[in-house]
């Protein structure tokens, strides 16, 4: 078996029983839901290209590059757009939402998404709080606004205090290790309030993921233990008295073998208490 994908925000892994020599018709893909309490008992084997999911099946690949080889790696050019379309022809004519998301304790980012999937996109990223700044007519306008906020910060309304104030720009992405570092923390409400002081926005969001962690989990790549839950693409599992945070993307491409991990993994100090 091989991990060939993952799903957020619901939390699931896609596992294929195909070998690189089999056709898509031979490849059965199982969706493994990562619900709290689920027991995982897999050892990670060799890692290679995860191939491609296609019409409910899996096209396997024997290339050594992981998680994807050049033939199966997809590049989403819109992620690099700053208002000048990188495609042959602009096609993002849906209404787009510009948002700011908060990740505990005090990491804030700007982003854009199609308006109809704003709530889903925030959950996919594992945001703790967010505001919907505004809705615009298409992706080009949204990316221009995003780039401006990334460079110069948020615009303030007429009620802004009179003293001079210069905002730093907001990042447009947050790395998974940064999100893991804040898993056991709460959003700094004062910092969030300062960021939004004088800012006009359409709606606010607050999310709960049910992890209830007492301490920061240990970052590790494994597929064994009791599932605590997921937050974006981070999977939290308990194994041997230690809570681990697994980036599900790091599982993609690995072969799976029945039985718990047989390698040395780092334990938290609490595991020895």
Closest CA to 238 of 214, 202, 254, 257: 214
Q: Are residues 219 and 253 in the same domain?
A: yes
Indicate the number of domains in the chain.
Answer: 2
Q: Are residues 182 and 225 in the same domain?
A: no
List CB contacts of 203: < 8 A, sequence separation 6 or more: 131, 132
Q: Are residues 84 and 174 in the same domain?
A: yes
Out of 178, 206, 234, pick the residue that ends a domain: 206
- Convert 32-52 to b/e letters by CB count within 10 Å (16 or more is b): bebeeeeebebbbeebbbbbb
Q: What is the mean pLDDT of the chain?
A: 89
Q: Are residues 189 and 240 in the same domain?
A: no
Q: Are residues 253 and 195 in the same domain?
A: no
Out of 189, 206, 223, pick the residue that ends a domain: 206
**What is the predicted pLDDT for the residue at 262?**
59
User: 49-57 long-range contacts, Cβ below 8 Å, gap at least 24?
Assistant: 49/253, 50/2, 50/3, 50/4, 50/5, 50/252, 50/253, 51/4, 51/16, 51/18, 51/20, 53/4, 53/5, 53/14, 53/29, 54/24, 55/24, 56/29, 57/24, 57/25, 57/27, 57/28, 57/29
Q: Are residues 93 and 155 in the same domain?
A: yes
| Comparison of pLDDT for 25 and 204, the residue scoring more | 204
Q: Are residues 227 and 258 in the same domain?
A: yes
Closest CA to 191 of 148, 111, 124, 129: 129
Q: Are residues 89 and 172 in the same domain?
A: yes
Q: Are residues 85 and 165 in the same domain?
A: yes
Q: Are residues 64 and 132 in the same domain?
A: no
What is the three-class DSSP state of 2? Answer: strand
Q: State which residues form the domain around 190.
A: 78-206
- The pLDDT tens digits of the residues spanning 142-170 come to 999 999 999 999 988 754 443 434 457 99
Instruction: Tell me if 61 sits within 8 A of 48, measured CB to CB.
Output: yes
Out of 152, 177, 206, pick the residue that ends a domain: 206
Q: Are residues 113 and 198 in the same domain?
A: yes
Q: Are residues 132 and 249 in the same domain?
A: no
- The pLDDT tens digits of the residues spanning 81-114 come to 777 777 777 778 899 999 999 999 999 999 999 9
- The pLDDT tens digits of the residues spanning 177-208 come to 999 999 999 999 999 999 999 999 999 999 99
Instruction: Tell me if 14 sits within 8 A of 206, measured CB to CB.
Output: no
């Amino acid at each position: 078996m091989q991990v060939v994908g993952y799903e957020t925000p619901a939390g699931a892994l896609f596992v294929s029983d195909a070998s690189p020599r089999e056709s898509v018709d031979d490849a059965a893909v199982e969706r493994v839901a990562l619900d709290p309490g689920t027991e995982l008992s897999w050892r990670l084997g060799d890692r290679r290209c995860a191939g491609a999911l296609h019409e409910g099946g899996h096209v396997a690949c024997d290339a050594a590059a992981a998680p994807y080889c050049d033939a199966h790696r997809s590049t989403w050019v819109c992620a690099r757009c700053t208002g000048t379309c990188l495609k042959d022809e602009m096609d993002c004519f849906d209404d787009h939402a510009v948002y700011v998301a908060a990740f505990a304790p005090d990491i804030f980012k700007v982003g854009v998404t199609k308006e109809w999937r704003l709530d889903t996109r925030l959950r996919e990223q594992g945001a703790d709080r967010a505001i919907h700044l505004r809705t615009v007519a298409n992706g080009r306008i949204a990316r221009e606004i995003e780039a401006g906020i990334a460079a110069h910060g948020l615009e303030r309304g007429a009620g802004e205090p009179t003293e001079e104030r210069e905002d730093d720009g907001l990042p447009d992405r947050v790395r998974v290790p940064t999100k893991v570092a804040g898993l056991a923390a709460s959003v700094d409400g004062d910092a969030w309030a300062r960021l939004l002081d004088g800012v006009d926005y359409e709606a606010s969001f607050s999310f709960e993921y049910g992890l209830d962690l007492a301490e920061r989990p240990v970052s590790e790549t494994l597929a064994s233990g009791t599932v605590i839950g997921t937050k974006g693409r981070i999977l939290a599992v308990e194994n041997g008295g230690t809570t681990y945070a697994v980036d599900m993307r790091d599982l993609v491409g690995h072969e799976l073998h029945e039985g718990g991990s047989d390698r040395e993994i780092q334990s938290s100090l609490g595991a020895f208490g």
